[in-house]
Copies of this chain bind each other. A is one copy, B any other.
């Protein structure tokens, strides 16, 4: 079974004429980067002419050069999605139901945070800690618990935190309370819910700043969002995993808490007194 272009080349390099063989060798030598550049660059790097490069990719079975490049890109993408850690850490023995799931989840978290800068998080935290406006949270079918979780914590350290739950008509009417200074935190992963998209759009029209938690494919709500957090969700299971997003939520809760330290502490003490 031939799965990569590199293998394909190794398979056919024997039957190639001299010029094309040089092309093949230079591609293998710095695989696959040269193949992503232009035909002209490729040809000079290999010391042959452009048509030779084109004949080379044609011999590999591609209709044209762009198709060849797309194939290389797909390969790269697949390679990048399964982080090196997985190949370095042997697929832990036993192979029960636990390990693959856990490993994938850990990878997801690392990947998610790799694409998430410290600055972005502190920006969002600052926005959430800004007490001039209200904070609304809402989630989809399976992600609403995340919204609840976040709301439960934020509500402890600051006022005006509202989790939008129940019937759609219920929270749709809350739009009337939302304005420019307010923040709407939305959780929406595949399959994206129309009702949420509509809600986000209307909120956006009212000037509400939207913080979106979604998957790597980005919910259409990203159109309206001020901040987008894209978490990895793929795991060897029938379901998508929200664990990475969950960890981001906890991180954010921690960051907001730190920013509200002074006020928050007093508030918490008061609360304790009320219990």
A239 — which chain B residues lie within 8 A by C-beta?
153, 250, 253-254, 257
A175 — which chain B residues lie within 8 A by C-beta?
none
**Is the Cβ of A36 less than 8 Å from the Cβ of B97?**
no
Closest to A259 in B: B97
**Is the Cβ of A118 less than 8 Å from the Cβ of B105?**
no
- A255–B88 Cα gap in the complex (Å)? 22
Closest to A217 in B: B29
Stretch at the interface among A8-16, A128-136, A178-186: A8-16
**Is the Cβ of A230 less than 8 Å from the Cβ of B76?**
no
Option from B26, B33, B118, B145 in Cβ contact (under 8 Å) with A96: B118
- Judged by a CB distance under 8 angstroms, whether A266 is at the interface is no
**Is the Cβ of A254 less than 8 Å from the Cβ of B101?**
yes
Size of interface on A: residues with Cβ below 8 Å to B: 86
- Judged by a CB distance under 8 angstroms, whether A44 is at the interface is no
- Judged by a CB distance under 8 angstroms, whether A64 is at the interface is no
For chain A, residues 44 to 72, give those with C-beta under 8 angstroms from any C-beta of chain B. 47
- A121–B94 Cα gap in the complex (Å)? 14
Tell me the smallest distance from the CB of A273 to a CB of chain B, in Å. Answer: 16
**Is the Cβ of B222 less than 8 Å from the Cβ of A25?**
yes
Option from B6, B141, B142, B228 in Cβ contact (under 8 Å) with A29: B228
Tell me the smallest distance from the CB of A122 to a CB of chain B, in Å. Answer: 6
**Is the Cβ of A145 less than 8 Å from the Cβ of B142?**
no
A89-127 near B? 1/0 per residue, CB < 8 Å: 100101011100110011001100111111111110100
- Judged by a CB distance under 8 angstroms, whether A144 is at the interface is yes
**Is the Cβ of B76 less than 8 Å from the Cβ of A33?**
yes
Closest to A215 in B: B29
**Is the Cβ of A97 less than 8 Å from the Cβ of B7?**
no
**Is the Cβ of B152 less than 8 Å from the Cβ of A148?**
no
**Is the Cβ of A247 less than 8 Å from the Cβ of B115?**
no
A12-45 near B? 1/0 per residue, CB < 8 Å: 0110000001100110111101001100000000
- A16–B212 Cα gap in the complex (Å)? 17
Report if A89-B114 is in contact (Cβ < 8 Å); known contacts: A142-B149, A144-B148, A253-B239: yes
14 CB contacts below 8 A, A to B, read: A6-B117, A25-B218, A25-B222, A28-B115, A33-B77, A37-B73, A86-B114, A89-B115, A97-B121, A102-B247, A142-B153, A145-B152, A236-B254, A238-B257
Q: A97-B254, A148-B148 are in contact. List 5 more A-B contacts (CB 8 A).
A: A84-B84, A84-B88, A97-B125, A106-B106, A142-B153
Nearest 5 A-B pairs (CB), nearest first?
A10-B117, A237-B254, A83-B84, A96-B118, A145-B145
